[in-house]
Amino acid sequence: MLKNKKLIVGLALVAMIGQARAEKASMPLRVHPSNPRYFTDDSGRAVYLTGSHTWTNLTDVSGYKELTNLEELGGFKGHLEWLRSYNHNFIRLWILEHAWDAAEGATIVPLPWPRTGPG
């Protein structure tokens, strides 16, 4: 009996997930009034934010094997397309704000501000 209940619940979850689809928010989001774990727009429906994480999604770290190189993913635009292909609707930008350890031969480019001096 318990096995059948698990099967029924599992099938119901699969059916609900299959109906989920990405939609644009019609208005700015705010905290849902009856459930602060979610956001809502003017429709009154809950909006669930979902996304993926990588440390180097704004700048490209080249020459350091431990971090994802965005160039391998097709650059920032490729990263956004990958997120969209999974119906993600949230992105958190991480930036490494310094040059990398030159002894390892790694670099971080481009930096999000102009250089102010020579070199």
* pLDDT of the residue at 108: 72
Residue 100 near residue 107, CB atoms below 8 Å: yes
pLDDT tens-digit map of 17-62: 444 555 665 678 999 999 898 899 878 888 888 888 777 777 767 7
**Residue keyed to tokens 């501000």:** 113
Number of alpha carbons in the 13 Å side-chain half-sphere of residue 114: 2
pLDDT of 14 higher than 50: no
Query: pTM above 0.85?
Result: no
User: Percent of the chain at pLDDT above 70?
Assistant: 55
Is pLDDT at 118 greater than 80 in this prediction?
A: no
